[in-house]
Structure 1
Amino acid sequence: MTIDQRLAELGITLPQAAAPVAAYVPTVEVGGLLHVSGQISFAEDGSLMKGRLGDDVDLDAGMAAARRCGIMLLAQIKAALGSLDRVERIVKLGVFVNSTTDFTDHPKVANGASELMVEVFGEAGKHARAAVGVAALPLGVAVEVDAVVAIKA
């Protein structure tokens, strides 16, 4: 089964890869690795998923925002590689959570993106990860996720 078939089975439609909003490129391929710039939380309708965990965004909404970041990561990976079947392994995700100082469920929020990678790639979707809280994120979004991906030779 191809990854596109797996996405269809999961009911996931990839959006168009988002254009950079500042002075960077979406991806850089070097040494067999694809480094994917941070992707912010866009809802399915294209609107921004804004807010702060521990304040006006609850845990479920935070996990959903992280999942949407993961879907945009997949769109960026496909745009860069031409096919998600070229992914050998998701190596690492970095998850940034816009949160209050007393919010401590960053790992649970990050699971929204992490679980998506396993759903899509199976064992190859299991990865190392960092999940951190930050005082603010671009455009006021709730979550941002970046990735390092090993590419099949």
Structure 2
Amino acid sequence: MGIIEERLAQRGLVLPQPARAPQGFAFSFEWVRVVGNRVLVSGHSPQASDGQLAGPFGKVPSEVSLEAATEAARATVLSVLGSVRNAIGDLDRITAWVTVTGMVNADSGYGETTNAINGFSDLVLELFGPTVGAHARTAVGFAALPLNNAVVVGAELQI
């Protein structure tokens, strides 16, 4: 077990199985695309341990609280790391989190999308430290997200 997986285990965090599409929905893209030393990560949302989407679902903050959206962003790190591990094998190969793009299913005019996506960034920094985990970031609100997820996060990493 590598350093990052040890840190996950110490925190009681478990990476989910590969994403499973809900009935009637198909994933026709790569969750992770490795090009040279670049690891391009498609948008992820929280998953249950079996790979199914875990929610919360709905608009922030009218249907999903900021706190729940922040926790969802934090849980999305596990989804991303599960997919990345499937693509590169060992999470210790990650040498840099380059950029993170966080999307929030936000009510019109909602201005706290940055606070919601902080859940993602905070856990990345906790697990990888400031040298590897520091990243550029965008956190924006959208009128709708796929399958009504409260948050979706994509990233670019380096190995």
TM, length-normalised to structure 2: 0.88
Does the residue aligned with 1:145 lie in a helix, a strand or coil?
A: strand
Quote the residue 2:156 is aligned against: 148
2:83 aligned to which of 57, 70, 76: 76
**Structural mapping, 1:118-129, within 5 Å:** 118-123=125-130, 124-129=132-137
Alignment of 1:24 onto 2:46: no
Distance in 2 between residues matched to 1:22 and 1:75, nearest whole Å: 16
**Structural mapping, 1:104-123, within 5 Å:** 104-123=111-130
Quote the residue 2:16 is aligned against: 15
Quote the residue 1:100 is aligned against: 107
Give 5+ residue unaligned stretches, structure 2. Answer: none
Once structures 1 and 2 are overlaid, which stretch shifts more, 36-45 or 60-69?
36-45
Residue type at the aligned position of 1:134: F
Give 5+ residue unaligned stretches, structure 1. Answer: none
Identical residues among aligned pairs (%): 37
1:67 aligned to which of 71, 74, 88: 74
Distance in 2 between residues matched to 1:83 and 1:44, nearest whole Å: 19
Deviation at 1:22, TM superposition (A): 2.6
Contact 1:43–1:65 under 8 Å retained in 2: no
Quote the residue 2:63 is aligned against: 56
Deviation at 1:54, TM superposition (A): 2.3
Quote the residue 1:4 is aligned against: 5
RMSD of aligned residue pairs (Cα, Å): 1.6
Alignment of 1:86 onto 2:93: yes
The count of aligned residue pairs is 151
Contact 1:54–1:102 under 8 Å retained in 2: no
Deviation at 1:127, TM superposition (A): 0.5
Does the residue aligned with 1:53 lie in a helix, a strand or coil?
A: coil
Contact 2:46–2:78 under 8 Å retained in 1: no
Quote the residue 2:41 is aligned against: 36
